[in-house]
Amino acid sequence: MTAKRVGWSGVFTAMVTPFRSDGSLNLSGVDSHVETLVKDGVAGLVVAGSTGEFYSLTNEERLQLFQQVKRVSAGRLTLVYGTSALTLQDTIALTKSAKQIGADGCMVLPPMYCLPTGKETVAYFSKVAEIGLPIMLYNNPARTGFNVPPALAAELANIEQIVAYKESARDLYAVAETYYLTRDRWQHFAGLEPYGSALMSRGASGLVSTISNVCTREVVEYHRAYQAGDSTTVSRMETVIDKIYHLVPSSGLSTFAFVKAAMLALGRPAGVPRLPHLPADAGKVASIRSALEKIYAEANLPLPSAASKEVVPA
C-alpha cells in the first residue's frame, strides 16, 4: 500500500460562473458567491468546471476567474481549477497558469470528443502531469462520451501527479472496482450527490457538488453527519438534496441553467447562463422558489440564506 498523495476532503463546490445579462463575466458576483460558500462551510472550490460553464469561457476569462477566486478566497479554501480544453496545448497552458496563480490543483477530463484509446489517455495525462500541479481526474462519460474503466484508472493511478478522482459515472459496480484499485493513492470524490452515500461508504473523502451552489449548508451537513455516523441527519439532508435534483427534469431547464435559476430564486449570487443555455424567465424562477419552499418546509428546515453581498442581477 502506498500513501495517498493529498489530504483533500469534504465538500468542494463546483461553483457557477456569474455572468451579467449581457453575457459578460461578473467578477464582483464571483466575490459574492465565494463569500457565500465560505460562510456556509465548504472545504474547497472547483472553479471553471462543467457547472462553471468552462466550455463557454475563453482562456483569458478563465485566467481572470482563477485570479479573482484566488484573491477573494485568501487561503481559506482548497482551490482546484478546471483546466480541461479541446486541445492538449490549451490544457497545458491553462494548467501552467493555474499553477502560477497558486491553485492547489487542477481538474482535468480525459480528452474530449476524440474518443481516445487507453494508451492515448495515459499519454495525455502524462503530459499534463509534467507541469507539476496536482491533478483531480474527472470521469464524466455522459458529457465526454468516454468512460474511464477500472483497469485504466489503475494504470492512471501510477502517474504520481494524479492525486484525486471525481466520479460522475452511474455504474456503481465499476465505480466500486475503481475505488478498490486506486484507494491507496487517490482521494475519491462523488461527482453526483445522490451517489454520495454509496461512494462514502466505500471510503470516498467527499463530494464535488453542483447542487451545493443552491443548498450549500445541507450538502456540508450531509457530509459532516456521514463522517459522524449520524444516520438520521444523513437521511434528512439526503432527502432535501434528492428532491432538489428531482426538480431539474420537471423545470424544463438544462442542469446548469436550473442551478442558476434556483440560486436566483433564493437570492444567491448566480447571474445568467451563457448560450447555448437559456435563462429561466421570472415565472419559472417563481415556480422554483415555490417548490423549494415546499421541500424545506417538509424537512422542517429554513430556506438557504441569501448572498452575503449584493446578488448578481439577471
> Any idea which residues carry the catalytic annotation?
50, 138, 166
**Alpha-carbon span 16 to 54, nearest angstrom:** 10
Do you find a cis peptide bond into 304, omega within 30 degrees of 0?
Answer: no
3-class DSSP state of 48? coil
User: What are the DSSP calls for 236-252, one per residue?
Assistant: HHHHHHHHHHHHHHHHT
Q: What are phi and psi of 139, to 5 degrees?
A: -100, 110
3-class SS of residue 259: helix
Comparing CA positions, the residue from 99, 161, 103, 173 lying closest to residue 134 is 161
Contact, 201 vs 238, CB < 8 A? no
Taking Cα atoms as reference points, which of 66, 63, 106 lies closest to residue 84? 106
As a whole number of angstroms, the distance between CA 210 and CA 169 comes to 15
Distance CA 51, CA 74 (A): 22
- DSSP code at position 86: S
Buried b (16+ CB within 10 A) or exposed e, 154-183: ebbbebebbbbbbbbbeeeebbebbbebbb
